[in-house]
Chain A
Amino acid sequence: MAVVKVTRPKLSAGEKIYLGAVVKGFFITMKHAIDSLRGKSRGAKDLESSGLGVTMQYPEQKWDEHLPEHYRGAPALVTDEQGRERCVSCQLCEFICPPKAIKITPSEIPSDDPWAKVEKRPLEFDIDMIRCIYCGMCEEVCPEQAIFLRKDYAITGLKRADMVHDKEKLYEIGGVRVGLVNKWNELK
């Protein structure tokens, strides 16, 4: 095996004294301090800073309109143009979910329903947001494009029970998604 002899770099006298570097560092630090006091920190504009540094002050200002296209927030169920539940309770997402956060109770569609001829719909669809890891595999696996990760991220509650999203809540987050089934195409 080839031996690579690593020697320490030879420092010049100025570098050995070390004070020059300290002074240089001092100026860099001061520049940051002054810039952030003037609200001119690098990147402050892009990050919607509140005027001091680059920080956005969270509850008052939010990041919402800057979320990237591919942002993976809370998973939610969507309806199609006709207001029809897309989920057919195939339970693939339940199976694939790595932390087992999804729980589906399948059921039939009653015959008097206008969409009676459509396959099935879930009776219960719960996602435990304490367990959810936002991996997006439910979205990936869904054959009907019924579940999507939306941009909601501020999911809070006072009890564990509060953190379970039921079907109603999931449809509320999801809303309507227009377009054909286009699983393998780009998202509309």
Chain B
Amino acid sequence: MDLLVTLLVIVAKVIGLTFLIVLPLVPISVYFERRFSAIIQDRVGPNRVGVPLTLLGAKKDFSFFGLIQPMADGVKLFLKEDFTPVHVRKAFYWLAPALTVVPSLVTVCVVPFGGDITVNGQIHKLVIADLDVGPLFIFAISSLAVYGITLAGWSSNSKFPFIGGVRSTAQMISYEISLGLSVVPALLYYGDLNLSNIVEQQSQNGWLLLPLWGNSAPWNNGGDYTAWLFWIPAMIAFVIFTTSVFAETNRMPFDLPECETELVGGYHTEYSSMKFAMFFMGEYAAMVIGSAMVVTLFLGGWSLGPWFDNWAKGVEIGPIGIGGLINMAVFMGKVVAFILFFILVRWTVPRFRYDQLMRLGWVIFFEAALINVFLAALVIAAPQFGAAITVGGLIVLAIVTGALVWALKVSEKKTVPVSI
């Protein structure tokens, strides 16, 4: 009986968080993308599709700011002809879209969406699987999405998709490293790999990028400035991590696998209707998960300061403590804000050239993330060691950094003007 209840809770969590939260967020973020892009470009965007009340005899349509548009998009994609070109490798061609969607949806399971919900004195965490290796699990699974893209490019048996697939592979490899390395400082700081605990810690001690309350503020812990000093490596890690997430999700400055100016449509050129929509969905789901990751690790997850969190913990309706749901609303707000940031970047930064992207990934971010790990370790360890060792460490770090920069400069190819 107990097992049954546990299973039911798990199923409810899976359905609730995946199918009621993340999947609906995909069309909604598409809508946001279209509306926000339009506003940036001095346009209006989709604001028409609504309930056609005039068909029923009413005076005016109910356009609802065009919020029905995502639904119309979905219906359109379902009803379109599902066209399979004859020259493709059928099995892989059909498999590829699923391979891009599934990893993004699997990674949902370790993201803590909110605090606890108490039912009959029993505490349920708002996370599907409370793994102790959260970030590692996300990296491991989300890197699989590239298989779908590569497979799509290869099985399309056509040149542009193939180039798109190959590009995607190379891009993914060059960014996974800095993605992984850039969170190491954060994980050093927390000393924990469980995302729920990380958020709990941030809720009590100040967010990683906002160390203003709890133990991280110097006036609460006897003048220890570690957390404030740690802000520097944390910020570097945040920049590298966010950029890598952009590359990971194939978003705008790094959308080289599908840039339409060079590759027609990239890896999904040969795909139509729902199969295309699956790629689209995978990409946006990855964007949602990426935002959730950034928010969880750096921006406090579902917390909104200890005062708010403690108040939310006490909110109850009858026997059910719904504090977790309030936290979830905060989390969703943060995620949506970050998605808006994603869109803003799309219209701010021009697309990278391919060699620039490779250089950024392999040469700059990789080294920067590596140095950042040392810097973070130094900042964390400084109070235990004396001033002498800390200064020595700083000098070593400066020498290593200088050496790296020098090596970078020397290895740069000198361009010799060619006379014709």
A binds B: yes
- Residues in B whose Cβ lies below 8 Å from that of A35: 42
Contact of A30 among B344, B415, B420 (CB under 8 A): B344
Q: Mark A138-171, 1 if CB is under 8 A from B, else 0.
A: 0000000000000000000000000000000000
Q: Are A29 and B43 in contact (CB under 8 A)?
A: no
Contact of B44 among A8, A42, A52 (CB under 8 A): A52
Q: Is B398 an interface residue (CB 8 A)?
A: no
Q: Which residues 14-40 in A have Cβ within 8 Å of B in the complex?
A: 22, 25-26, 28-30, 32-33, 35-37
Contact of B420 among A3, A29, A44 (CB under 8 A): A3
Q: Are B43 and A8 in contact (CB under 8 A)?
A: no
Contact of A32 among B42, B44, B415, B417 (CB under 8 A): B42
- Residues in B whose Cβ lies below 8 Å from that of A5: 417, 419
- One of B32-40, B51-59, B262-270, B285-293 at the interface: B32-40
Q: Is B384 an interface residue (CB 8 A)?
A: no
Q: Is A57 an interface residue (CB 8 A)?
A: yes
Q: Considering residues A6, A28, A53, which has the most beta carbons from chain B within 10 angstroms of its beta carbon?
A: A53
Known contacts A32-B41, A53-B39; A22/B348 CB under 8 A = yes
Kindly state the separation between the CA atoms of A50 and B44 in the bound complex, as whole angstroms: 9
Q: Are A41 and B42 in contact (CB under 8 A)?
A: yes
Question: Shortest CB–CB separation between residue B31 and chain A, in angstroms?
Answer: 15
Contact of A33 among B40, B415, B417, B420 (CB under 8 A): B40
Question: Shortest CB–CB separation between residue A38 and chain B, in angstroms?
Answer: 11
- Residues in A whose Cβ lies below 8 Å from that of B36: 33
- Residues in A whose Cβ lies below 8 Å from that of B415: 7-8
Q: Are B417 and A53 in contact (CB under 8 A)?
A: no
Q: Is B64 an interface residue (CB 8 A)?
A: no
Kindly state the separation between the CA atoms of A36 and B44 in the bound complex, as whole angstroms: 9
- Residues in A whose Cβ lies below 8 Å from that of B44: 50, 52-53, 55, 57
Q: Are B348 and A52 in contact (CB under 8 A)?
A: no
Kindly state the separation between the CA atoms of A6 and B415 in the bound complex, as whole angstroms: 11
Q: How many residues of A contact B (CB 8 A)?
A: 25
Question: Shortest CB–CB separation between residue A41 and chain B, in angstroms?
Answer: 4
Q: Are B41 and A53 in contact (CB under 8 A)?
A: yes
Q: Are A52 and B417 in contact (CB under 8 A)?
A: no
Q: Is A54 an interface residue (CB 8 A)?
A: yes
Kindly state the separation between the CA atoms of A15 and B417 in the bound complex, as whole angstroms: 22
Q: Are A54 and B42 in contact (CB under 8 A)?
A: yes
Question: Shortest CB–CB separation between residue A59 and chain B, in angstroms?
Answer: 10
Q: Which residue of A lies closest to B417 (CB)?
A: A5
Q: Are A29 and B40 in contact (CB under 8 A)?
A: yes
Q: Are A6 and B39 in contact (CB under 8 A)?
A: no
Kindly state the separation between the CA atoms of A69 and B4 in the bound complex, as whole angstroms: 78
Q: Is B347 an interface residue (CB 8 A)?
A: yes
Q: Which residue of A lies closest to B356 (CB)?
A: A18
- Residues in A whose Cβ lies below 8 Å from that of B40: 29, 32-33, 36
Contact of B42 among A25, A26, A53 (CB under 8 A): A53
Known contacts A22-B348, A25-B348, A52-B44; A7/B39 CB under 8 A = no
Q: Is B349 an interface residue (CB 8 A)?
A: yes
Contact of B43 among A6, A25, A26, A53 (CB under 8 A): A53
Contact of A55 among B43, B345, B348 (CB under 8 A): B43
- Residues in B whose Cβ lies below 8 Å from that of A53: 38-39, 41-44
- Residues in A whose Cβ lies below 8 Å from that of B43: 36, 52-55
Q: Which residue of A lies closest to B346 (CB)?
A: A29
- Residues in A whose Cβ lies below 8 Å from that of B344: 26, 29-30, 33
Question: Shortest CB–CB separation between residue A91 and chain B, in angstroms?
Answer: 45
- Residues in B whose Cβ lies below 8 Å from that of A28: 348
Q: Are A29 and B42 in contact (CB under 8 A)?
A: no
Question: Shortest CB–CB separation between residue B228 and chain A, in angstroms?
Answer: 22
Q: Are A36 and B39 in contact (CB under 8 A)?
A: yes
Q: Which residue of A lies closest to B350 (CB)?
A: A25
Q: Are B417 and A55 in contact (CB under 8 A)?
A: no
Q: Considering residues A8, A35, A36, which has the most beta carbons from chain B within 10 angstroms of its beta carbon?
A: A36
Provide a sorted-by-A list of 22 A–B residue pairs whose CB atoms are within 8 angstroms.
A3-B419, A3-B420, A5-B417, A6-B417, A22-B348, A22-B349, A25-B348, A26-B344, A26-B345, A28-B348, A29-B347, A36-B39, A36-B42, A36-B43, A37-B39, A41-B42, A52-B44, A53-B38, A53-B41, A53-B42, A53-B43, A55-B42
15 further A-B pairs in the complex, CB-CB below 8 A; given A52-B44, A53-B44: A5-B417, A5-B419, A6-B417, A25-B348, A26-B344, A29-B348, A30-B344, A32-B42, A33-B40, A35-B42, A36-B39, A37-B39, A52-B38, A53-B39, A54-B43
Where the two chains meet, the residues of A that have a C-beta atom closer than 8 Å to any C-beta of B are 3, 5-8, 22, 25-26, 28-30, 32-33, 35-37, 41-42, 44, 50, 52-55, 57
Q: Which 4 A-B pairs have the closest CB atoms?
A: A53-B42, A5-B417, A41-B42, A25-B348
